[in-house]
Amino acid sequence: MPELSSQIILVSVILIASLSLLITEKIAVDKTAIGIMVALATTGILSPAETISGFANPAVITVASMFLLSYGLIRTGAVGFVSELILHFSKGNKNRAIILILLTVALTSGFINNTPVVVLFIPIVMGLSCECDFSPSKLLIPISYVSILAGTCTLIGTSTNILVSNLSTSFGFEPLSMFELSQVGLPIAIVGITFLFFISPRILPGRTAPVCELDETKLNKYIAELIVCQNSPLIGEGHIIEHAQEQLGLSVIEVFRNGNIFDPIRSPLTIKQDDILLVKGSAEDIILCLKKQILELAHGEENIAFGSGLKDDLIIELIVPPLSGLLREKLLSTELQNDPEIKIIALRTRRHHYSYRKIKTVKLKIGDTILVRCPRQKLSKIRNSNEFIVVEDIHHSMIDKEKAKMAAIIFIGVVLFASSGLADILVCSLTGVFLMTLTHCLSLKDAYRSLESEVLLLIVSTIALGVAMQKTGATKLYADAFLSLFDGKSPNTVLLGVIFLSSLCTHILSNNATAVLLLPIAVTTATALGADPRPFIIGICFGASACFASPIGYQTNLLVYGPGRYRFSDYIKLGMPLNIIVIVLSALLIPVFWPF
């Protein structure tokens, strides 16, 4: 049918353009999402009602409700109390602290959205690394991976599971029950966590935390950016870490050269003039170094001063979280710049370092790290603004902590009613949000910001794209093309291929977009094989969440990139084996519980 073929070509062009924009992030995700719907409507592929049908999809409302419930638990301190328990039970023991952190992250991520869990645990890990004397870089990627593994164990552990469950009903299949995925998810999580506990300390770098716990009883250590000036005795030095520690009393954390970031531990380099060193040391050692003209302040007279006059000032690192209202805003237009008592020192992105004088046009992204000096009394304002995470600040100020018990009771009620089948997950989650707002566990003003509108818009737009693919016959075409790769193969082999494809796609797209786009193909493929589509639907759940080999595909991976001072290769070295473990175990275990 020529008309059908032309529509398939058209929807394929829209699909390719959408994927390229989502991968490259040339424009914002929400703009891309709206553009997808506009393209489908204006080309006549979908009617206006079909284009916006995603807004009425139960998955979108359920996911939005779970975002709100998770936010209520975090902000009332119902989850935050675990940091105090970990501090209490770890008693300075490194291994005990690591085990407690991994298990607590797993338990909480199984029931609430894992992004706020990782946001909560980043400062806990950074603080404990100072107290228990271990490198936070050994643990930050593992907490992200554990949150992903645990999220696949329950229906509400990740928005992807909710989305797949609701979309499967549109194909005439039963929705997933609360703990149906646990049959496979739990064994995989146990194997994965065991793997991370023993292997991550051997593979991940041993980076020290640039800023330690904000404790007034400890000797003040300052972070500063110092430039190698002309005629400095450091020029030509090939062992800068040892030299700076022994001769200057300073710990060199990173070296910045021409805007690029170098780790002197993993990439030894010879110091040149105009290199900028990110160092940590006492005020006396830094001042002595400046007086001897070994180094100079990187930003001239505008930079920070050191000494007793600033005894109440702190040098802190701030991370830009997914819910920040400052995403895609210029740093110099933020409240940090407008506050005369706060001094921005530098900005670090995934690839580059920007000094204060070079950040005029830089726009903030998830995971960016900002180095600032601020008065101690400003900390509470920064903590409670939700715009930033204060790194290494384990003394988080929780809002309405007396409401923690009520928030926990409401959430437990949602889980019990949904898992027992007494009410639909959509009804339960909406009721939970209503009760949290009614009991003031959740402020609607703050709650609206926790909705993650980018995620919801992306779900809506990809649902529309999925409808268009099915309506035009593109889904069947893609399924046939996929099946041709496994011609004559068993359903088990095809299932392995589906899970692998899902995992591959989720490294370059979001997990939700991957699930929406591949689910129709998986169902069509199963039908063509004459097999039960249920194992393939379950396979999409595990494959779409198996994003371990890249920091880009999953928000929690991106969040720990900056604080851990990681490289892309760190994710590949630890994440690739974990990806293989999850894919293989999923393919082996799924047919055991959901036969073909």
Residue 360 CB neighbours (<10 A):
11
The CATH number of the domain holding residue 307 is: 3.30.70.1450
Rounded to the nearest 10°, the torsion over CA 305, 386, 392, 136 is: -130
126: tokens are: 């950074």
Cα 21 to Cα 305: distance, rounded to the nearest angstrom: 44
Asked whether the predicted pLDDT for residue 75 surpasses 90, the reply is no
Residue with tokens 């992200």: 144
The reply to whether 155 and 298 lie within a common domain is no
Q: Average the pLDDT over 158-171 and give the result.
A: 88
Higher pLDDT, 227 or 217: 227
- Angle at which helix 534-545 crosses helix 159-170, to 10 degrees, equals 150
- Of 571, 495, 485, 489, residue with least CA distance to 526: 495
Asked if residue 4 is part of any domain, the answer here is no
187 assigned to some structural domain: yes
Q: Which two tokens stand for residue 190?
A: 């146990």
Of 211, 398, 217, the C-alpha closest to 314 is 211
- Residues 228, 356: one domain? yes
Segment (H or E) for 569 = helix 568-593
**Residue 386 within a domain:** yes
pTM for the complete prediction? 0.73
pLDDT in tens, 105-133: 898 888 887 877 887 788 778 777 766 77
Q: Cβ neighbours of residue 177 under 8 Å, at least 6 residues apart?
A: 155, 419, 421
159 and 279 both lie in a single domain: no
- Residue 363: per-residue pLDDT: 78
Better-scored residue on pLDDT, 149 or 72:
149
* 3-class secondary structure, 446: helix
Number of domains in the chain: 2
How high is the pLDDT of residue 210?
A: 58
If one compares 472 and 350, the residue with the highest pLDDT of the two is 472
CA distance 596 to 381: 56
- Range with the lowest mean pLDDT among 16-30, 37-51, 145-159? 16-30
Q: Of 367, 390, 413, at which residue does a domain stop? A: 390
- Structural domain includes residue 264: yes
Q: Of 177-186, 378-387, 483-492, which range is least confident?
A: 378-387
Is 488 part of a structural domain of the chain? no
Q: Are residues 202 and 232 in the same domain?
A: no
Q: Let me know whether 377 and 438 are in one domain.
A: no
pLDDT confidence band for 35 (50 / 70 / 90) = very high
Confidence class of residue 98 from pLDDT cuts 50, 70 and 90? confident
3-state helix, strand, coil in the chain (%, to 5): 60, 10, 35
pLDDT band (50, 70, 90) for residue 369:
confident
Helical segments of 450-490, H only: 453-472, 474-484
Q: What domain range is 258 assigned to?
A: 222-390
Same domain, 383 and 242: yes
Does residue 131 belong to any structural domain of this protein?
yes
Task: Give me the pLDDT at residue 593, please.
Answer: 94
pLDDT of residue 341: 77
Length in residues, the chain: 596
**Domain co-membership, 64 together with 95:** yes
Which of 346, 361, 390 is the last residue before a domain boundary?
390
What pLDDT score does 300 carry? 47
Does 290 share its domain with 237? yes
Q: Can you say whether the dihedral through the CA atoms of 317, 83, 118, 433 is positive or negative? A: negative
Q: How confident is the model at residue 193 (pLDDT cuts 50, 70, 90)?
A: very high
- Is the confidence at residue 308, as pLDDT, over 50? no
538 confidence band (pLDDT: 50, 70, 90) = very high
Same domain, yes or no: 85 and 184: yes
What per-residue confidence (pLDDT) applies to 465? 85
Q: What does the pLDDT read at residue 38? A: 93
Residue 229 and residue 197 in one domain: no
- Is residue 425 one of the residues assigned to a domain? yes
How far is C-alpha 31 from the chain's CA centre? 21
E-strand spans in 33-150?
A: none
Identify the CA nearest to 240 among candidates 203, 270, 274, 201. 270
146 and 237 in a common domain: no
Tell whether 284 and 359 lie within a shared domain: yes
The answer to whether 416 and 407 are in contact (CB under 8 A) is: no
CA angle 541, 141, 149 (to 5 degrees): 25
Q: What is the pLDDT of residue 184?
A: 95
Residue 191 within any structural domain of the chain:
yes
Q: Do 40 and 51 meet the contact criterion of CB atoms below 8 Å apart?
A: yes
